[in-house]
Amino acid sequence: MQPLDDQQAAARAWFEQLRDLICAEFEAIEAEAGSDARFEYTPWDRADPSGEHGGGGLRGTMKGKVFEKVGVNVSTVGGVLDSEFGKTINGAAEDPHFCATGISLVAHMANPHVPAVHMNTRFLTTTKRWFGGGADLNPPLPVAADTEDFHAEMRAACDAHDSAHYPRFKAWADDYFYIPHRKVHRGVGGIFYDHLEGDFAQNFAFTQDVGRAFLSVYPKIVRRRMHDAFAPEDVAVQREWRGRYAEFNLVYDRGTAFGLKTGGNIDAILMSLPPVATWA
C-alpha cells in the first residue's frame, strides 16, 4: 500500500476521530443504564494479492445492556483490485490501484423499541476521488417521532451544503435499502450518497457533517426509548425483522461485497449481522 497523501490522511484522521466520539457516547449510554460494558478493539492487517501490505483497520465491538451488539470499524486499505471486480469500481477500470478509508457502524439494540442503525462514510481513491456513505434508521417497531427526528437531522446536514442534497440522497437511500425478493424496505430510510467527486474540501465538509448529524440525533433516540417496556411478542417481531436485515446485507449490500472482494477482515465485514435473528 502506498503512503497516504494529504487528502487521504485527513479523511482517515476524521474517521478515527468520529469513531472515538461515537464510542464514548455509546459507552456513556451504557453507564447511564447501569452497565459497565465498554468497547473492545481488535486491530487487523490486510494482505494485498500483490504480496504487499494492504493496510488494515481497528474493529471495535461492544455487547451491553442497551446495545446488544454494536460494531464500529475504521479501516484504511489499498493495493490492486482484481481486474474483473475493478471494472465495477468508479475509476478502477483504467488502473486497478486503489485506496479506501472509512468508518462503518451498525448497532443492534436489546430493547426492540430502540431502532437499530447503520452509518458509514468513506473516501475512495482510484484514478478518481470521491466520498460516499450515509446513515439509515432501522426500527423493528417504527415510531413516527423517531423517524421524523432522524430525517430532520439528516436534512439539516444536507441543507447546510446544498438544498438539492436531501431529496436526492433520501431517494437514493429509499432505492438502495430495499429488499427486492421481499418487496420491502430495510428500514425507514435516511440518506445515501456515492461518487461525490470534485471539490475535496466541500465534499469532505459535507461528509463530516453527516457524521456529526448522526452523533447528534441517534443517541437522543436511544435515550428516549431504551427504558420502554416490551413484551415477548415485540422481541419476536424484532428477531424476524433482523432476519430481513441480514438478508439485505448478505445479498445486496455493496459494502459487504467490496470488503469480501478486497480481502478485508471477515469479522469486521460481517459485524453488521445481528446477534440473534429468526426466519419463519
Sorted by where each starts, the structural domains of the chain and their CATH numbers stand as 6-271 (3.40.1500.10)
pLDDT exceeds 80 at position 241: yes
Contact in structure between 105 and 119 (CB atoms under 8 Å): yes
How many CB atoms are closer than 10 A to CB 9? Answer: 13
97, 108, 113, 118: the catalytic one is: 118
Q: What whole-number percentage of the chain has pLDDT above 90?
A: 82
Which burial class, exposed, middle or buried, applies to 103 when counting CB atoms under 10 A from its CB (0-12, 13-18, 19+)? buried
Q: What is the pLDDT of residue 127?
A: 93
Q: What whole-number percentage of the chain has pLDDT above 70?
A: 99
- Residue 262: pLDDT band by 50, 70, 90 thresholds? confident
Is 118 catalytic? The answer is: yes
**Mean predicted confidence (pLDDT) in 121-125:** 97
pLDDT exceeds 80 at position 88: no
- Residue 263: pLDDT band by 50, 70, 90 thresholds? confident
- Residue 255: pLDDT band by 50, 70, 90 thresholds? confident
CA distance 253 to 188: 17
Contact in structure between 279 and 243 (CB atoms under 8 Å): yes
The neighbouring-strand residues paired with 58 are: 43, 74
Query: Which stretches of 207-263 are assigned E, i.e. beta strand?
Result: none
Q: Is the pTM of this model over 0.85?
A: yes
